Amino acid sequence: MRELKAAILATDGFEQSELEFPLNVLKKVWIPFDIISLKKGTIKGWNVTKWGDDFNVNKTIVKARSSDYDLLILPGGVINSDFIRTNKPAIKFVTEFFEKGIPVAAICHAPWLLIETGLLRGKRLTSYHSMKTDLINAGAEWIDEEVVVDHNLITSRSPKDLPAFCKKMVEALKK
Sorted by where each begins, the domain ranges of the chain are: 6-174
Tell me the β-bridge partners of 104: 72, 153
d(CA 93, CA 108): 19
CATH of 6-174, one of 3.40.50.300, 3.40.50.2000, 3.30.200.20, 3.40.50.880: 3.40.50.880
- Position 1 pLDDT exceeds 70: no
Pairing mode, strands 104-107 and 6-9: unpaired
Mean pLDDT, range 111-125, rounded to an integer: 97
Query: Can you give the pLDDT at residue 72?
Result: 98
User: What is the pTM assigned to this prediction?
Assistant: 0.97
**Catalytic: 109?**
yes
Q: 33-79, pLDDT tens digit by residue?
A: 999 999 999 999 999 999 999 999 999 999 999 999 999 999 999 99
* Mean pLDDT of the chain, nearest integer: 97
Query: Can you give the pLDDT at residue 175?
Result: 80
List the catalytic residue out of 85, 109, 157, 168: 109
